[in-house]
Amino acid sequence: MTRITTSRQRVAVTGLGVKTAAGNDLETFWDTLCAGRSMARRITAFDADDLMVNFACEVRDFDPQDYLDAKGAKRMDRTAQLGFAAATDALADAGRHGVPPERRAVVTGTGHGGTGTQEDEFGAVPKRGYGRVSPHYVPMTMANATAGAISIRHELKGPSLCICTACASGAQAVGEGARLVREGAADLVVAGGCESAVAPLTMSSFARMGALSKRVSDPERASRPFDADRDGFVMGEGAGFVILENWDHAVSRGARIYGELAGYGRNSDAHHITAPSPDGTGARTCMELALADAGLTADEIVHINAHGTSTPLNDVTEARAIVDLFGAQRFPVTSTKSVIGHLIGAAGAVEAVATLLTMREGIAHPTANLERRDPGCDLDVVAERARKIPEGPMLSNSFGFGGHNATLVFLPAAM
């Protein structure tokens, strides 16, 4: 393997944390992914009877007071609650790192910010008037609320950033966090994404634009990436965070290293506010940038965790980009969204966690509901059951509204 030799710092991943419909801890999350069954169910958070789409992948059995006192939880939107909890779990998973507060940083990603609070307050104004708007509305809905909460609680006194690039937000947060470590701006970065957009107004808008699956009679079969009968994505909520650490520091303290974040690519389609560039050139270029950043060639990749939304346009465009770049070779591809839905700004970060667990276990989880492959998606998509894969570099793709693209490349710790 050819590696770039520069003065930049290597980036180790030493901690993981998730809150998803598939589970709130790493082992449950992984076991559920490997079972290959969608977690889409009828919405329970509110009365969804009047919605065009009344199902989603909700995070179950989550109590914010396991992480926050009652007052702190009440003053935090669910998006931030999920993100704060996943980040706290990731820090615990990383163990005692010994990095001084001034050398600790945080980068969070979200597509919407405090969606639930926004919709609740908008709905309450006609009844209560503007004089009764919550004084906590702004700090609960601002996109950087999660970064602030994590920084305050965990004494992260270095850079504190928030990325808002729609469905690429979580992956870009992880990538930009890696850049802070590489450039010597921080020795430890808490990086990830969070989103809770299972809310009436937001879901109604996605449904009206035709982005959501309308299989209301059979929600568990609604998310079906790369399947010929797909008709849209399933909304999900959750959070995923990773701990990025200076490689030498992680090794010196004997940290458990899940893998190395070796490559990061990001660019823009510059094509359309919601649709991907149909020829896939933006996605292909993004993957090429990530490979070049890692000092790898296309034939060294052993697995891709695809963006794989289950929308007609995205899946065929991503498949075209992958085939154009990697040629006739066949390595396993999977879509985590088939099980947990589309987490919008959290998606890329949760899928980065899934990719690292794939690397740890040497197994690619199946893509749920793939029954009749779309001939326009000429990929080796893992279906029906988990599949053993060889050790080697892996990619995770994320593409968002506005044409935002992000690709992460992970290497096994031993390489």
Nearest 5°: CA angle at 116, between 113 and 121? Answer: 105
Residues 372, 173: Cα–Cα separation, whole Å: 35
251: number of Cβ within 10 Å? 14
**349 membership: H or E segment, kind and range:** helix 347-361
Cβ 315 vs Cβ 329: under 8 Å: no
Angle, helices 115-128/78-94, rounded to nearest 10 degrees: 150
Residues in contact with 403: Cβ distance below 8 Å, sequence separation at least 6, in sequence order: 268, 269, 270, 271, 272, 273, 276, 277, 282
**126 membership: H or E segment, kind and range:** helix 115-128
Cβ 412 vs Cβ 298: under 8 Å: no
Catalytic residues: 167, 307, 342
Cβ 38 vs Cβ 55: under 8 Å: no
412: number of Cβ within 10 Å? 18
Residue for token pair 């589309």: 342
| Residue spans of alpha helices (H) in 155-230 | 169-182, 200-208
**Strand boundaries in 25-96, DSSP class E:** 41-42, 55-56
The residue type of 153 is R
* CA-only gyration radius of the chain, Å: 20
Residues in contact with 299: Cβ distance below 8 Å, sequence separation at least 6, in sequence order: 326, 329
Residues 178, 174: Cα–Cα separation, whole Å: 6
Per-position DSSP letters for 235-278, written without gaps between them? BBEEEEEEEEEEHHHHHHTT----EEEEEEEEEE--S-SSSPPT
Report the DSSP beta bridge partners of residue 173.
Answer: none
